[in-house]
Amino acid sequence: MASKLVLSVLLFLVLVATQAEGNNNFNLVMASRTLSDKGYQPPLTLLQYHVVPSKLDGHALESLPHGSKIDTLLLGHPLVVTTLPTDEFASINGVKVAERDLYNDGGLIVHGVDNFFDPAF
């Protein structure tokens, strides 16, 4: 349970830092596996790699062409769209976007992915 609490606090800190810089739109992409089940607490840099400081809903995500780069809060480490025209689901860094728009209030958009993104992709 403590792992989930730590994750929530870290994500909150990342999101507050983004809004403090004057950017009111961002996406948060989280892996569907629970961290506490794996006994893993990710470093802040990995969490920054899962936050996109722009508005990118499910429709916009699926319209991006293969090879497009998406800036993240981890400067110098963009995500790469790996969706092929024949794919049923969008994918980023070779990871399937399993659930689009889990949450979307117009300012924060959350997508569910099958695994963590690798910053070295």
Q: Is residue 68 included in any domain, yes or no?
A: yes
Q: Is 83 a residue whose pLDDT tops 50? A: yes
**CATH classification of the domain holding 48:** 2.30.180.10
Better pLDDT: 104 or 40: 104
Per-residue pLDDT band for 78 (boundaries 50, 70, 90) equals: very high
Number of domains in the chain: 1
- Determine if the pTM surpasses 0.75: no
CA 3 to chain CA mean position, Å: 19
103 phi-psi bin (left φ>0, alpha ψ -120 to 50, beta other): beta
Residue 70's contacts (CB-CB under 8 Å, 6 or more residues apart) are 52, 54, 56, 64, 78, 79, 80, 81, 92
- Write the DSSP assignment of 95-107 as a string of letters: EEEEEEEEEESSS
**Enclosing domain of residue 104:** 2-113
Cα separation, 4 vs 63, in Å, equals 33
pLDDT by residue (tens digit) across 16-40? Answer: 344 444 555 555 555 544 554 556 6
Q: Is residue 121 included in any domain, yes or no?
A: no
Confidence (pLDDT) at 84 = 94
